[in-house]
């Protein structure tokens, strides 16, 4: 296992070195900042927009509405994170391209829990959940589901796919 880790680390370093040489040779040295150092200065963005997707929710349930979270945000984090803030929709329909996830959300919104708008509202919802989980590790947040749809029960895939196709088309 240690040898595999070392080999992977060497591959990553050589890959970054090759990219750096390529960018310098082609006069695009600024791309070193984007591709080679990007994970160092943009890691905070990954935590900010990626953590809300599953934190505090039930890890072992088949109903994606209970184990994933959707939130909306401004265009810049949405663009940088490929619309993955529509995470429930992404899990329910993984073949839908990222750029159609907002349209999919509109099509099936009546079957989904409400989505907080903005990263501030999302984290304002999450932080008390995390605090409670520290006090009670067995606690999981159960999002409010639409009336008439108990947890674990979903509309059939055929109905959802038909509704989504009608909205996206």
Cβ distance 47 to 118 under 8 Å? no
What is the per-residue pLDDT for 55?
97
Alpha-carbon gap, residue 13 to 28, rounded angstroms: 19
What are the extents of the domains in the chain? Answer: 1-41, 44-168
DSSP type of residue 141: B
Q: How far is CA 101 from the centre of its chain?
A: 11
Q: What is the pLDDT of residue 121?
A: 97
As a whole number of angstroms, the distance between CA 23 and CA 48 comes to 29
Instruction: Please state the rounded mean pLDDT for residues 116-120.
Output: 96
- Residue 56 near residue 45, CB atoms below 8 Å: no
Instruction: Quote the pLDDT of residue 151.
Output: 63
Give pLDDT, residue 138. 94
Q: pLDDT at residue 155 above 70?
A: no
CA distance readout (Å), 42 to 32, 55, 157: 14, 20, 37
Between 97 and 167, the higher pLDDT residue: 97
Q: Phi, psi at residue 155, to the nearest 5°?
A: -65, 155
Identify the top-confidence range among 36-40, 81-85, 132-136.
132-136
**Lowest-pLDDT choice from 123-127, 133-137, 144-148:** 144-148
9-34 pLDDT, tens per residue? 999 999 999 999 999 999 998 898 88
How far apart, in Å, do the first and last CA atoms of the chain sit? 49
């Amino acid at each position: 296992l240690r040898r595999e880790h070392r080999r992977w680390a060497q591959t990553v370093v050589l890959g970054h070195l090759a990219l750096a040489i390529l960018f310098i040779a082609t006069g695009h040295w600024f791309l070193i900042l984007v591709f080679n150092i990007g994970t160092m200065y943009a890691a905070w963005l990954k935590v900010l927009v990626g953590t809300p997707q599953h934190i505090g929710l039930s890890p072992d349930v088949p109903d994606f509405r209970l184990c994933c979270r959707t939130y909306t945000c401004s265009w810049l984090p949405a663009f940088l994170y490929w619309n993955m803030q529509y995470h429930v929709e992404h899990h329910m329909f993984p073949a839908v391209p990222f750029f159609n996830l907002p349209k999919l959300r509109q099509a099936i919104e009546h079957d989904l829990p409400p989505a907080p708008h903005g990263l501030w509202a999302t984290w304002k919802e999450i932080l008390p959940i995390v605090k409670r989980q520290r006090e009670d590790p067995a606690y999981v947040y159960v999002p409010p589901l639409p009336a008439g749809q108990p947890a674990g029960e979903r509309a059939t895939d055929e109905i959802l796919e038909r509704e989504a196709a009608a909205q996206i088309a």
